[in-house]
Amino acid sequence: MNKWLQTIRGMSLRKRIVYLFSIAAFIPFISSVLLSYNAIYSILENKLESSAINTLKQTELSLSHTMDNLAQISQQFVYPSNTALNLNSYLETDDLSKGTALNEEIQTELDYITYTNAAAGLAVYIGENGEQLYRNMLIREDFTVEELPFIGEYNDISYYGPHISNNPLNTQYVISIIRDVELPNEKNVTLYLESSFSITKNIINMSQSMNNSFYLLLDEEGRIAFSELASIYPVDHNFYKVTSTASKGSTNGFYWFKSTNTKGWSMVSLIPQAKFDQEKNTWIKQMVFLAIVFGVCSLLIALLVWKMVYKPVRMFDSEIEAISNNNLTFKSEKTNIPEFDHSLNQLQVMKQQITELISEVEIKEKKRADLEIEKLLHQINPHFLMNTLDTVHWLAVIHKQEEIDKMVSALNNYYIII
């Protein structure tokens, strides 16, 4: 403690002013930041989390809506729809002309259904041996159901995706379903139906651009059916093995949020921690920037005050130094600060008074010296001088100093003549 006091006492005026202004500026600022940090952090955390969850829920509902639309559209392809009845008749008839008419009618109805439903894309009737009976668009030659990413089965409908469309002209992600047509003749015919690639593209890409997130689709057991981050979360791996069954968490540098559909499958939104914390980091950067601004302003004000005080102090120091060197004619410039200028004026008045006192003392001392000399001159009268010279004369005679005797006698005669 004593060491600190000694350090403070040894500080120059400039350091004291700088430190005091810095403390005065930073204490209120830091107090405000500390008091508001928890509240602001909580607000930002809830805001970002709510935004991520709402976006995830919107995406999940959009995909669920796409799946439901596919299920509803598929009703127009299965028994007892007119298309399914014509397909059943076509598979049973041996009449070539009737078969040709049914074939054209089925193809027309297939095209009509898909083109009048914006949510529908590629539609294919698949026979019991895997042959493609009817389709409304081109289909890839290597198309197989086994390679599709399975999501789950609900109400006898198998859901797949998102995956690249099996239409070779489209390279976007789609959702697809496979279901039995259930023909009366009990022949094993299945329907493969894709969602429109533009709808799925809009759902995924728009959601991703909203919060820079990546998406996973999980089945009921947590198996990853679709992954936008296959390098970290590969397809067919169990998501719950690296995380938990909770609805949110963090792992591998990502915050994740999960939304489970009523059908059992789940959608997971993965947000990079750097992106998620970006707004909080922006707030922190703003606080740091304000702290720097406060610091610079405090230093500038402290330097300005120091200059305002230091210049007059230096002037006082110059005045005192001039007085110590007997230079009473030295005069400092004005500081344009009334208080300091008044003090400097008082110092000038004092110097003038000192000069006048010194002059007065010199005159008095000169007069006193003159009076002393005049007093001594009056005390030395001729009679006293002649007696003194006569005494010197006889002493010279006694000691036989003829030269001194002659000189004193001559001087005595001189004063007698005068």
Indicate the pTM of the whole model.
0.57
Closest listed residue to residue 217, CA positions, set 253, 265, 252: 265
Is the Cα torsion angle 43, 252, 208, 192 positive or negative in sign? negative
**In the block, residue with structure tokens 């998620």:** 276
Q: Lay out the sheet containing 224-227: strands in order across.
A: 224-227, 214-218, 266-272, 254-260, 248-251
Phi and psi (nearest 5°) for 135? -155, 155
The structural domains of the chain, ordered by start, are 75-211 (3.30.450), 328-379 (no CATH), 382-417 (no CATH)
pLDDT at position 190 is 92
pLDDT at position 142 is 86
Alpha-carbon span 226 to 216, nearest angstrom: 5
CA distances from 399 to 228, 392, 404 (A): 142, 11, 10
In order along its 418 residues, the chain shows pLDDT tens digits of 566 666 656 666 666 666 776 676 667 767 776 766 666 666 666 776 777 778 788 878 888 888 888 889 889 888 888 888 888 888 888 888 888 888 889 888 888 888 888 888 899 999 888 888 888 888 988 888 888 888 888 888 999 878 888 998 888 888 899 999 888 887 888 999 998 754 444 455 544 444 567 888 888 888 888 888 888 888 888 887 766 667 788 888 888 888 888 888 888 888 887 776 776 777 778 877 877 787 777 777 777 776 777 677 777 777 777 777 777 666 666 666 676 677 777 777 777 787 788 888 888 888 888 888 777 666 666 667 777 777 877 887 888 777 877 787 777 776 666 5
Q: Are 91 and 128 in contact (CB under 8 A)?
A: no
pLDDT at position 199 is 43
